[in-house]
């Protein structure tokens, strides 16, 4: 397997919380943020820290070789949890290793459990060992920074902040967040979708897909019964919102006087052309997110089973290029559905229907036809 180009595929420090949400919080007028003491300043500090880490990575990407992972053992789960103790030093002090007893720190124990649930999804459902298919050890660091308002995958490990205590609680509280960030590693080792524009939005969407699938499987939920929320439980009670994103109903996850209204479009008619956030990778991810969720609900039953298998097959098939756009990816999922379940099968029809609902259509009747984008 070729060494991934981390500089192009890894969303370093572009955490699960979109920059546009943190910017909104950081710049909230005093009259709107009167109920908040520290959250706006924490959001500003988080944005500055993320920007600093991105610039540092950009300045060293041509001179630093990719980190060699610890010895992997296929099909064996290997977890290590470290504590940064509210510093910005990684990896931090190891506090729990594979097979160790809970340590009594919710963040450490939640991350340990979440890594295990995500590993189980890939291993038990798709026969894929860890993130790279070869038993890559899973590492995480908790208590990163002071009240850090984000969580991210840095190319080698998970990193979790504790939240500001007013808008966000600790980021390990949400299993979909843990699995979302780990899934960036899965994409890094498979399709290597570039983190910009539509391929970047697909990169984010793939993480949302496997994030909610890990959570739904852990809860034993069928597609029609699940919330389809990413980051449910992150917002503290005073926030008017249920999660960071809704896959089934993009644009409805929150509507708060400080944070504003969730800006994600639900279909291609609302596609956002922007240079912010690597070309709108977080905002436009709602479109392929909804395509998956609509297909899953139409199909019914466990979404991680047949439909999740189609997305997994697509990402590991070698047919999706790093610069794939929505149309190309949609065509690849349709082809994967036909290959595994047959032309005209309920899975094939559900996948077609999902993309059609969001304005990305399959043209013609043959699986090899091009997919066109309807606006």
Residues forming the active site: 181, 282
Q: Are 77 and 131 in contact (CB under 8 A)?
A: no
From the list 119, 301, 320, 326, the residue with the least C-alpha distance to 220 is: 301
DSSP-derived 3-state class of residue 331: helix
124 class by beta-carbon count within 10 Å (0-12 exposed, 13-18 middle, 19+ buried): exposed
For residues 223 and 304, what is the distance between their CA atoms, to the nearest angstrom? 9
Q: What share of residues in the chain are helix, strand, coil (percent, to 5)?
A: 40, 10, 50
CA 203 vs. chain centroid, Å, equals 8
Q: Take residue 92 and report the two structure tokens written for it.
A: 């931090």
For residues 309 and 217, what is the distance between their CA atoms, to the nearest angstrom? 13
Q: Are 98 and 91 in contact (CB under 8 A)?
A: no
User: How long, in residues, is the chain?
Assistant: 375
Long-range own/partner contacts, residues 362-366 (CB < 8 A, 24 or more apart): 362/330, 362/331, 362/334
Residue 79 bridge partners (DSSP): 138
For residues 288 and 124, what is the distance between their CA atoms, to the nearest angstrom? 25
For residues 8 and 11, what is the distance between their CA atoms, to the nearest angstrom? 8
Structural Rg of the chain based on CA atoms: 20
DSSP-derived 3-state class of residue 139: strand
342 class by beta-carbon count within 10 Å (0-12 exposed, 13-18 middle, 19+ buried): exposed
């Amino acid at each position: 397997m070729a060494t991934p180009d981390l500089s192009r595929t890894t969303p370093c420090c572009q955490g699960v919380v979109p920059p546009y949400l943190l910017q909104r919080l950081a710049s909230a007028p005093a009259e709107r943020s009167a109920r908040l003491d520290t959250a706006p300043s924490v959001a500003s500090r988080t944005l500055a820290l993320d920007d600093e880490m991105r610039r540092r990575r950009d300045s060293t990407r041509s001179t630093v070789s990719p980190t060699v992972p610890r010895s992997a053992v296929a099909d064996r789960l290997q977890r290590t949890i470290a504590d940064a103790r509210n510093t910005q030093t990684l990896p931090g002090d190891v506090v729990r290793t594979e097979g160790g007893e809970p340590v009594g720190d919710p963040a450490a124990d939640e991350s340990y459990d979440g890594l295990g649930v995500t590993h189980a999804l890939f291993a038990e459902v798709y026969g894929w060992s860890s993130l790279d298919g070869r038993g890559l050890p899973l590492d995480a660091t908790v208590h990163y920074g002071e009240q850090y308002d984000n969580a991210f995958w840095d190319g080698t490990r998970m990193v979790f902040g504790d939240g500001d205590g007013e808008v966000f609680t600790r980021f390990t509280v949400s299993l979909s967040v843990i699995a979302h960030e780990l899934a960036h590693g899965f994409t890094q080792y498979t399709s290597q979708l570039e983190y910009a524009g539509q391929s970047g939005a697909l990169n984010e969407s793939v993480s949302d897909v496997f994030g909610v699938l890990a959570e739904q499987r852990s809860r034993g939920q069928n597609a029609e019964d699940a919330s389809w929320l990413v980051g449910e439980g992150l917002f503290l009670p005073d926030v008017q919102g249920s999660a960071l994103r809704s896959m089934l109903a993009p644009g409805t996850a929150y509507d708060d006087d400080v944070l504003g209204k969730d800006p994600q479009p639900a279909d291609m008619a609302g596609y956002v052309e922007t240079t912010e956030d690597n070309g709108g990778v977080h905002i436009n991810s709602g479109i392929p997110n909804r395509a998956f969720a609509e297909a899953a609900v139409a199909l019914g039953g466990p979404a991680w089973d047949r439909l999740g298998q189609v997305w997994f097959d697509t990402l590991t098939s070698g047919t999706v290029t790093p610069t794939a756009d929505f149309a190309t990816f949609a065509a690849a999922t349709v082809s994967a559905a036909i290959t595994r379940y047959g032309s005209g099968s309920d899975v094939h029809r559900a996948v077609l229907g999902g993309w059609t609902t969001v304005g990305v259509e399959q043209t013609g009747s043959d699986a090899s036809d091009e997919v066109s984008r309807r606006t």
